[in-house]
Structure 1
């Protein structure tokens, strides 16, 4: 059975390929709840359910988000994410 995880993204400068590769995971799937944009990205168009936020703290402080993907350009957010009790994946 595939587990759905409520997730957020900090530093969304990834390509659509990132979303495709996470979508084929047979163990877990992701509900993209919030995305903090570090710049313009077309990749979020395929995820209209995701709320675009202006501050990373909106993701860090959201009690419903279990996992946060953090881009390598935003490593300074890793510690606050961990301190909030969430899992982190650096991409």
Structure 2
């Protein structure tokens, strides 16, 4: 039996109106928190279109870093293009 039905059934048996309140509190207590890290797409500024994914903290500013671009065969500047997902 699903958790919501158990909570409602437990309080509704005695005619107690707190069933809805108990169900609401259980949903709030199991809500997911935001993750601390993000997966972001890094794109080469050399214009080759080469990209890779990197992890960064949610609190940190957008990433810019030097990384090897195999199409140019040099280290070039990569900038964060977009957030892919939370980790």
Normalized per residue, the structure richer in strand is 2
Question: Over alpha carbons, which structure has the higher Rg?
Answer: 2
Tell me the TM-score normalised to structure 1 length. Answer: 0.20
Give the structure, 1 or 2, with the largest relative contact order (CA under 8 Å, sep 6 or more).
1
